[in-house]
């Protein structure tokens, strides 16, 4: 791996200042200090350039978010018009404004369930915090104050605030942070390739997971469990696609015990999996939903929690006693973010981008499946325009690489050298391009990835 030392950057350069001033989120701080940053300078469509003028094909839609691609003039126009017209307004205490209202109307019309009300946040994390608070508040109001626990997948990712970070079921996000909070539990990871027992069929695997969820709820007491939260396809875990029929079995358990289903569509929402929502691709019947990322194609930060009217009614009734619905943020429904998100959703529809993504997703999945035959790839998996390859030391036995080899980050680095941005997640390499990617660009992406896989195979063969 190329290692540029801290002192190689000229004093006063952005790289040197980065190393001096920033605490980077989700970064190996030691490796970063040794290697230095990559400075993104500009981007257009599905391409991005660093400050040395090197071009990259954006194979990760930023952080799974730049659905419409970079540099969309129409969104720049809408943002600048909204800033000139009404740069800030609020939704507290009965104030409102057009962009937030129209976006809520639009979102409700798009929902794959009977949506009643829309609450705005700024990130997937704070939206999932809101989900937890709403579950607690709602169950208190309907006379079930015991019903407070939440269950999430081991391997699931739901954000990194204190509460959403507790829902997240990946150990590095808990270590030394004193997480998860009590009352937040984790159920089996639905990754058949890694988690199935020897000789277990997909059907037997999903039945076993549903049974263990049932056992967990019974052991905790169904009267204490409020909700189960899941990503239809688990993104940060390495694009884990639960086997066919999995959610049917899970939902039967939840319904039996009166446990609600929070559908976290922060990555899967808005065309990513070949349908408008991951719920449709994976057969989920949500009670409530979280959306973020592609909601604004990441032009501005905005997220939303969508709940049914039946959940809103007790909240409204409680305001009579409490005085207000006492939850919200200064920037809940920020008018510039809402105006941009609304126009983004309109553009996705007007330009047929969901249909385009579904069609190009077939090319993407065909090339992904081909990558699965590479000698360093144990499993290639995905849906629509998201996927991952899991790198293994031995294809037959599924033997993983020695963790010290840093195989995922190595492959990611090789891809960068070839002008492709992908994301190393443990031993997996995730791919999630903007939805506007063309067939030709999908081929370019997998050709570049193929070179990175060849080099990774060579590196591993030589022992790293």
* Identity of the residue, 67 or 377, whose beta carbon is nearer to ligand PLP in the bound complex: 67
56 in contact with ligand PLP (CB under 6 A): no
Number of shown-chain residues binding ligand PLP (CB under 6 A) = 15
**Which one of residues 61, 292, 357, 449 is an interface residue with ligand PLP (CB under 6 A)?**
292
DSSP state of 179: -
CB of 240 to ligand PLP, least distance (A): 12
236 in contact with ligand PLP (CB under 6 A): yes
Whole-number Å distance between alpha carbons of 134 and 39: 40
**Which one of residues 235, 276, 361, 406 is an interface residue with ligand PLP (CB under 6 A)?**
235
Which residues within the stretch 213-232 sit at the binding site for ligand PLP (CB under 6 A)?
231
Angle, helix 335-350 to helix 353-371, in steps of 10 degrees: 80
* Identity of the residue, 135 or 266, whose beta carbon is nearer to ligand PLP in the bound complex: 266
CB of 60 to ligand PLP, least distance (A): 11
DSSP string over 110-142: H-SS---EEEEESSHHHHHHHHHHHHHHHHHHT
67 in contact with ligand PLP (CB under 6 A): no
Query: Nearest residue to ligand PLP, using CB?
Result: 124
**Which one of residues 158, 186, 381, 423 is an interface residue with ligand PLP (CB under 6 A)?**
158
Whole-number Å distance between alpha carbons of 256 and 251: 8
CB of 204 to ligand PLP, least distance (A): 28
* Identity of the residue, 185 or 298, whose beta carbon is nearer to ligand PLP in the bound complex: 298
184 in contact with ligand PLP (CB under 6 A): no
**Exposed (0-12), middle (13-18) or buried (19+): which is 64, by Cβ within 10 Å?**
buried
Q: Which of 252, 254, 270 is nearest to 262 (CA)?
A: 254
**341 Cβ contact list (under 8 Å, min separation 6):** 103, 295, 296, 300, 302
124 in contact with ligand PLP (CB under 6 A): yes
* Identity of the residue, 222 or 424, whose beta carbon is nearer to ligand PLP in the bound complex: 424
CB of 145 to ligand PLP, least distance (A): 27
Q: Which of 382, 356, 362 is nearest to 434 (CA)?
A: 356
Q: Select from 39-47, 52-60, 152-160, 171-179 the region that touches ligand PLP (CB under 6 A).
A: 152-160
Tokens linked to 217: 């709820």
129 in contact with ligand PLP (CB under 6 A): no
166 in contact with ligand PLP (CB under 6 A): no
Task: Please state the length of the chain.
Answer: 464
Q: Which of 368, 392, 387, 370 is nearest to 456 (CA)?
A: 392
Pairing of β 184-187 and β 149-153: parallel
**Which one of residues 90, 125, 189, 275 is an interface residue with ligand PLP (CB under 6 A)?**
125
The CA-atom distances, in angstroms, between 408 and each of 128, 236, 357, 405, 460 are 28, 13, 26, 9, 11
CB of 272 to ligand PLP, least distance (A): 11
* Identity of the residue, 187 or 377, whose beta carbon is nearer to ligand PLP in the bound complex: 187
**Which one of residues 103, 170, 266, 388 is an interface residue with ligand PLP (CB under 6 A)?**
266
**Exposed (0-12), middle (13-18) or buried (19+): which is 282, by Cβ within 10 Å?**
buried
282 in contact with ligand PLP (CB under 6 A): no
250 in contact with ligand PLP (CB under 6 A): no
Q: Select from 106-114, 118-126, 349-357, 448-456 the region that touches ligand PLP (CB under 6 A).
A: 118-126
Tokens linked to 189: 């990871």
Whole-number Å distance between alpha carbons of 187 and 152: 6
123 in contact with ligand PLP (CB under 6 A): yes
Q: Select from 123-131, 190-198, 374-382, 409-417 the region that touches ligand PLP (CB under 6 A).
A: 123-131
332 in contact with ligand PLP (CB under 6 A): no
**Exposed (0-12), middle (13-18) or buried (19+): which is 205, by Cβ within 10 Å?**
buried
* Identity of the residue, 292 or 416, whose beta carbon is nearer to ligand PLP in the bound complex: 292
157 in contact with ligand PLP (CB under 6 A): yes
**Exposed (0-12), middle (13-18) or buried (19+): which is 216, by Cβ within 10 Å?**
middle
| Binding region for ligand PLP (CB under 6 A) | 63, 123-125, 128, 157-159, 231, 235-236, 264, 266-267, 292
């Amino acid at each position: 791996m190329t290692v540029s030392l801290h002192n190689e950057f000229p004093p006063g350069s952005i790289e040197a200042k980065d190393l001096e001033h920033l605490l980077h989120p989700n970064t190996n701080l030691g490796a970063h200090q040794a290697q230095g940053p990559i400075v993104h300078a500009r981007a257009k469509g599905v391409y991005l350039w660093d400050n040395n003028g090197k071009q990259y094909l954006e194979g990760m839609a930023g952080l799974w978010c730049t659905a419409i691609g970079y540099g969309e003039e129409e969104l720049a126009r809408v943002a600048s018009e909204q800033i000139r017209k009404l740069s800030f307004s609020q939704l507290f205490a009965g104030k409102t404004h057009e962009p937030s209202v129209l976006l809520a109307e639009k979102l409700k019309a798009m929902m794959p369930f009977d949506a009643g009300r829309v609450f705005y946040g700024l990130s997937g994390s704070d939206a999932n915090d809101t989900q937890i608070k709403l579950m607690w508040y709602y169950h208190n109001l309907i006379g079930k104050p015991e019903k407070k626990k939440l269950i999430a997948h081991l391997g699931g990712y739901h954000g990194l605030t204190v509460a959403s970070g507790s829902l997240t079921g990946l150990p590095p996000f808990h270590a030394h942070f004193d997480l998860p909070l009590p009352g937040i539990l984790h159920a089996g990871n639905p990754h058949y390739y890694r988690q199935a027992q020897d000789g277990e069929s997909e059907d037997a695997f999903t039945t076993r997971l549903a049974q263990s969820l049932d056992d967990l709820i019974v052991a905790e007491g169904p009267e204490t469990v409020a909700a189960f939260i899941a990503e239809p396809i688990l993104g940060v875990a390495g694009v884990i696609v639960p086997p066919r029929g999995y959610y049917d079995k899970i939902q039967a358990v939840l319904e039996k015990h009166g446990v609600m289903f929070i559908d976290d569509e922060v990555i899967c929402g808005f065309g990513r999996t070949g349908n408008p929502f991951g719920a449709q691709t994976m057969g989920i019947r949500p009670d409530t939903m979280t959306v973020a990322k592609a909601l604004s194609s990441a032009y501005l930060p905005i997220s939303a929690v969508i709940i049914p009217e039946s959940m809103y009614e007790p909240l409204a009734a409680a305001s009579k006693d409490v005085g207000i619905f006492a939850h919200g943020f200064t920037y809940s429904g920020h008018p510039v973010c809402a105006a941009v998100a609304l126009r983004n959703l309109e553009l996705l529809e007007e330009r047929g981008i969901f249909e385009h993504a579904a069609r190009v997703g077939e090319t993407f999945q065909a090339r992904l499946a081909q990558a699965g035959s590479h000698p360093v790839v144990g499993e290639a998996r995905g849906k629509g325009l998201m996927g991952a390859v899991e790198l293994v030391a031995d294809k037959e036995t599924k033997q993983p690489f020695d963790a010290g080899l840093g195989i995922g980050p190595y492959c990611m680095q090789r891809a960068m050298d070839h002008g492709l941005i992908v994301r190393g997640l443990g031993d997996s390499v995730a791919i999630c391009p903007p939805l506007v990617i063309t067939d030709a660009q999908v081929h370019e992406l997998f050709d570049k990835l193929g070179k990175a896989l060849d080099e990774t195979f060579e590196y591993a063969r030589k022992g790293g």
